[in-house]
Chains A and B, each alone.
Chain A
Amino acid sequence: MSATTAETPRLRPTRALILRGLLLAGLLILALLPLLNRLPPDHALHASDFIVSVSGKWMCYAMLALAIDLAWGYAGILSLGHGAFFALGGYAIGMHLMRLIGPRGVYGHPVLPDFMVFLGWTELPWYWWGFQFFPFALLMALAVPGLLAGLLGWLAFRSRITGVYLSIITQAMTYALMLAFFRNDMGFGGNNGFTDFKELLGMKLNTAGARAALFYAALLSLSGAVLLCRHLTRSKLGRVLVAVRDAESRVRFLGYSTVSVKLSVFVLSAMLAGLGGALYVPLVGIINPGEFSPGNSIEAVIWVAVGGRGTLVGALLGAFSVNAVKTWLTSFAPDLWLFALGGLFVAVTLFLPRGLIGLMRKGEER
């Protein structure tokens, strides 16, 4: 790794306080949103359904950003395939939701989802077993991305594949998964993926109550994830991580097993992404192979870069701000959005290597 990314973010107390205040205020506003949604529409503080659903989505994105930040900002592992972990988590919950549809599908088959009936399948494939139980599906939403990351990371870190090579391999991974999930005979709904979900944990999905519940679930998970990452990055492991990022061979010579350090953080990061995806799918009501596209993963990386990698607040800030701009811009000038996103890539890497958080720190050091 180059020396330009060398230091751990250390903010001056006052600024750290401001940031923490902002973070808390943000969380508070988010927590109030579903309640504000209940206010009459003409009330000044009324939050529209759109705002609520969009911010629910953004919280899932923020978890993905957090996951990328943990791997990239702290451990120096730039994964261009985190969207795959996100999508795998989503698919795991999607499978549960599909099983819950039961006989209410178009074809009315008691067990098989519609697309399987359509393909003429008569039996549930073995990898769909157990997904009728929510805890199992949730476990899979964490375990599958974790295992995949573990396997990939073990192979890569063991043979000391780092930097750009690792990025390209992770990109190839998500690309391969996208191709695979597009196939009908994989048993994951092919092109169309999963949609038309009915209920989750006994709640009808298209009711206001279910939406609020899912929203709070996302908020709680995000807060939990932030706390976990905060704890992790401040622990001894976190310091080793940063050391690995900045001078891996030196850490190795000091007697640390850099492979296991990197592997554990990579797996944890993948599981976080998977959790984000698992929350995302019931919120948006659809999952399809497009989520695996390499473009999605790299877009998520740019959230972190915009916010400021190597700081947890930065990842959250980036995910929310970039997506806010995206939502705003695509609503009136969809053609411009890709220019803006491309320009963001260029501008951030050239002028804001530490992202928006870096701006706040300007003049503080050096």
Chain B
Amino acid sequence: MRVLCLVMALFLLLAAPLRAQDRFETLAAGLSGGFGAQVETVERLGALGDARALPLLQALGEGRLQKRADGTLLLEQDGTVVEAVAGTPAAPGETVRINNRVRAALRGALGRLQLVAPQEGARLQAADGLFRSRSADNIPLLEQALAREAAPLVRARMELALAASRLVAADEAARRQGIEILSGSGSAEARSLLLEARAANPALAAPIDAAIAAIDARLQIRQAAETVFQGLSLGSILLLAALGLAITFGVMGIINMAHGEMVMLGAYTTVMVQEGFRGVPWLAPWSLPVSVPAAFLVTAAVGVALERGLIRHLYGRPLETLLMTFGVGMILQQAVRLLFGAQNREVVSPAWMQGTLALPGDITVTQNRLWIILFALVVLGLAVAAIRFTRFGLEMRAVVQNRRIAATMGIRTGRVDAMTFAFGSGIAGMAGVALSQVDNVSPNLGTGYIIDSFMVVVFGGVGSLAGTMIGAFTLGIVNKLLEPWAGAVLAKIAVLVGIMLFIQRRPKGLFALKGRAAEQ
């Protein structure tokens, strides 16, 4: 049977546009006949599996198929009429009418024909439809379609549908085959199908149980992979939010409680850039990439003003700095609230960030989360490079290690302080751009992140960017691992408590600075 099908398909594909056209044409002519003839024709066209029948049948269903007095079929499309088979323009004719019996036949035929439709999406949908409405009658149809199918994704779905149909076949060997194929898939749908089949086939209980176990194992792996991805996603957000803090707090030792507001300002810069670009069509898709440097500059400028204007006067008094910057954060928040309103602002994701990406093993990830993970890593890389390899980074490290010696070497420590603080603030602004994609942009956007950020920095080890990264990803993944059985809020609380206990054992965090710098 299969061989025959293959041969037939090959035949159809290679040699026979002519012959197929013949059959298709002769068959299609039947559509202009009476209702009985129409039903027969529709069924035959469906069984023929020629994709050209698809527009014809669709037109019939939608009342767009017309016929001339001589029986020639005409197709009306968007107000113009063409000859259905030849495709040449023609004068309009009489609409072909159908009744409910024809409609029922059409539904079945269309479902089968979709399997060979030229659009991949349509074929995918058809395969999924057959998977759900499984019946032994579909087996030859699916086998036929599979033989022609080239797209791997569609093939996989068709195989699943075929296996599902085989499960309800009369032949036991076919059912066994179906079970085997289903056990190789990792979908919850296949699992429920198998459960159903198990009740119907007591004789096949053993292979079905084995298949279910195999599916469960795959499902678990997939779930674990998705949890890890979610954790990485949360971790990347934490990393972005905490990275700036790791520089201002970790390196400079400034407690900046307005850090969350810097993130918020970055998000609002994104909103502003987007609004500005809205009128210019060719610029609009670039609003997000442009927002990144814009947010950096805006928040860095605010950072310089804050450091030079206020924080500088409180060096050496961390508790006062904490209170003062909290006040600054309040003022910034209220200012933004008055300027932009308290309601959430919407930031549109560009097309290349939307949608999901399917990874092998049925794992799907949302694109924007993936971009944010990448973005976080790039920003981290840039920050590390700036500190390691640039003149500014060198001066910064020198000032942190020994301010007075650095000053005697001719480094303008005040300027370095301002630059470092601006750098940390700017990174917070860039974090805001990323957060605008996943969170509501509102004036209190930052307050939700400030405590988490401090926890990440303290957990990872103050003064260590690598520690911040590992801390952020660890916390993100632990949070997501706990979530399924503790709920989002309890997971968060558990993480907070866990960090408090962790600090007991390692007060300096995961990656403690050693040596003289740690003593200060």
Q: Across the interface, do B319 and A164 meet the contact criterion of CB distance under 8 Å?
A: yes
Q: Across the interface, do B330 and A341 meet the contact criterion of CB distance under 8 Å?
A: yes
Give chain A nearest CB distance to B329 CB in angstroms. Answer: 7
What's the Cα separation between A4 and B319 when bound, in Å? 12
List residues of chain B with CB within 8 A of the CB of A341: 327, 330
**One of B313, B317, B328 near A342 (C-beta < 8 A):** B328
B326 within 8 A of A: yes
B230 within 8 A of A: no
**One of A2, A342, A353 near B329 (C-beta < 8 A):** A342
Known: A165-B503, A171-B451, A335-B338. A342 touches B492 (CB 8 A): no
A182 within 8 A of B: yes
What's the Cα separation between A152 and B496 when bound, in Å? 13
Q: Across the interface, do B493 and A343 meet the contact criterion of CB distance under 8 Å?
A: no
Q: Across the interface, do A338 and B501 meet the contact criterion of CB distance under 8 Å?
A: no
List residues of chain A with CB within 8 A of the CB of B338: 335
**Which of A50-58, A124-132, A294-302 interfaces with chain B?**
A294-302
Q: Across the interface, do A179 and B507 meet the contact criterion of CB distance under 8 Å?
A: no
Task: Fill in one digit per residue for B113-128: 1 if any A CB lies within 8 Å of its CB, else 0.
Answer: 0000000000000000
Q: Across the interface, do B327 and A167 meet the contact criterion of CB distance under 8 Å?
A: no
What's the Cα separation between A168 and B492 when bound, in Å? 16
Which secondary structure dominates where chain B touches chain A? helix
Q: Across the interface, do A350 and B451 meet the contact criterion of CB distance under 8 Å?
A: no
Q: Across the interface, do A338 and B331 meet the contact criterion of CB distance under 8 Å?
A: yes
What's the Cα separation between A168 and B450 when bound, in Å? 10
Look across to chain A and name the residue whose beta carbon is closest to the beta carbon of B313.
A350
Q: Across the interface, do B489 and A179 meet the contact criterion of CB distance under 8 Å?
A: yes
**One of B317, B324, B447, B493 near A346 (C-beta < 8 A):** B324
What's the Cα separation between A158 and B327 when bound, in Å? 31
Which residues, 150 to 183 on A, are CB-close (under 8 Å) to B? 152, 155, 158-161, 163-165, 167-169, 171-173, 175-176, 179-180, 182-183
What's the Cα separation between A53 and B455 when bound, in Å? 40
List residues of chain B with CB within 8 A of the CB of A160: 507
Which residues, 432 to 487 on B, are CB-close (under 8 Å) to A? 447, 451, 454-455, 458, 487
What's the Cα separation between A128 and B504 when bound, in Å? 32
What's the Cα separation between A172 and B458 when bound, in Å? 12
A260 within 8 A of B: no
List residues of chain B with CB within 8 A of the CB of A298: 323, 326
**One of B317, B331, B493 near A179 (C-beta < 8 A):** B493
Task: Fill in one digit per residue for A178-190: 1 if any B CB lies within 8 Å of its CB, else 0.
Answer: 0110110000000
Give chain A nearest CB distance to B24 CB in angstroms. Answer: 64
List residues of chain A with CB within 8 A of the CB of B318: 163-164
List residues of chain B with CB within 8 A of the CB of A176: 492-493, 496-497
Give chain B nearest CB distance to A6 CB in angstroms. Answer: 12
What's the Cα separation between A163 and B455 when bound, in Å? 15
Q: Across the interface, do B489 and A342 meet the contact criterion of CB distance under 8 Å?
A: no
Residue of B323, B497, B505 with most partner-chain A CB within 10 A? B323
Give chain A nearest CB distance to B507 CB in angstroms. Answer: 5
B364 within 8 A of A: no
A344 within 8 A of B: yes
Known: A346-B324, A350-B310. A167 touches B319 (CB 8 A): yes
Q: Across the interface, do A346 and B328 meet the contact criterion of CB distance under 8 Å?
A: yes
List residues of chain B with CB within 8 A of the CB of A182: 489
List residues of chain B with CB within 8 A of the CB of A172: 451, 454-455, 496, 499-500
A345 within 8 A of B: yes
Give chain A nearest CB distance to B281 CB in angstroms. Answer: 38
A191 within 8 A of B: no
Q: Across the interface, do B320 and A353 meet the contact criterion of CB distance under 8 Å?
A: yes
B238 within 8 A of A: no
B322 within 8 A of A: yes
What's the Cα separation between A350 and B317 when bound, in Å? 11
- The A-B contact count (CB < 8 A) is 113
What's the Cα separation between A161 and B317 when bound, in Å? 17
List residues of chain B with CB within 8 A of the CB of A345: 323-324, 326-328, 330
Interface size class of B (residues with CB under 8 A): 35 or more
**One of B316, B335, B487 near A2 (C-beta < 8 A):** B316
B314 within 8 A of A: yes
Task: Fill in one digit per residue for A91-109: 1 if any B CB lies within 8 Å of its CB, else 0.
Answer: 0000000000000000000
Known: A164-B255, A169-B503, A176-B492. A294 touches B320 (CB 8 A): no
Known: A172-B496, A172-B500, A179-B492. A346 touches B327 (CB 8 A): yes
Task: Fill in one digit per residue for A326-360: 1 if any B CB lies within 8 Å of its CB, else 0.
Answer: 00000000010011011111101110010000000
List residues of chain A with CB within 8 A of the CB of B489: 179-180, 182-183
What's the Cα separation between A301 and B334 when bound, in Å? 20
Q: Across the interface, do A346 and B319 meet the contact criterion of CB distance under 8 Å?
A: no
Q: Across the interface, do A161 and B507 meet the contact criterion of CB distance under 8 Å?
A: yes
Q: Across the interface, do A163 and B323 meet the contact criterion of CB distance under 8 Å?
A: no
A78 within 8 A of B: yes
What's the Cα separation between A298 and B451 when bound, in Å? 13
A305 within 8 A of B: yes
**One of B451, B455, B497 near A294 (C-beta < 8 A):** B451
Known: A172-B500, A298-B323. A159 touches B330 (CB 8 A): no
List residues of chain B with CB within 8 A of the CB of A2: 316-317
Which residues, 10 to 69 on A, are CB-close (under 8 Å) to B? none
B420 within 8 A of A: no
What's the Cα separation between A335 and B335 when bound, in Å? 9
Look across to chain B and name the residue whose beta carbon is closest to the beta carbon of A155.
B504
List residues of chain A with CB within 8 A of the CB of B38: none
List residues of chain B with CB within 8 A of the CB of A343: 327, 331
Which residues, 482 to 518 on B, are CB-close (under 8 Å) to A? 487, 489-490, 492-493, 496-497, 499-501, 503-505, 507
Q: Across the interface, do B323 and A305 meet the contact criterion of CB distance under 8 Å?
A: yes
**One of A4, A161, A350 near B324 (C-beta < 8 A):** A350
- 20 interchain pairs, CB-CB under 8 A: A155-B504, A158-B504, A164-B255, A172-B454, A172-B496, A175-B496, A176-B493, A295-B447, A298-B326, A301-B323, A339-B334, A339-B335, A342-B329, A343-B331, A345-B324, A345-B330, A349-B317, A349-B320, A350-B314, A350-B324
Which B residues contact A (CB, under 8 angstroms)? 255, 310, 313-314, 316-324, 326-331, 333-335, 338, 447, 451, 454-455, 458, 487, 489-490, 492-493, 496-497, 499-501, 503-505, 507
Minimum-distance CB pairs A-B, first 7: A345-B327, A342-B330, A342-B331, A338-B334, A349-B324, A342-B327, A349-B320
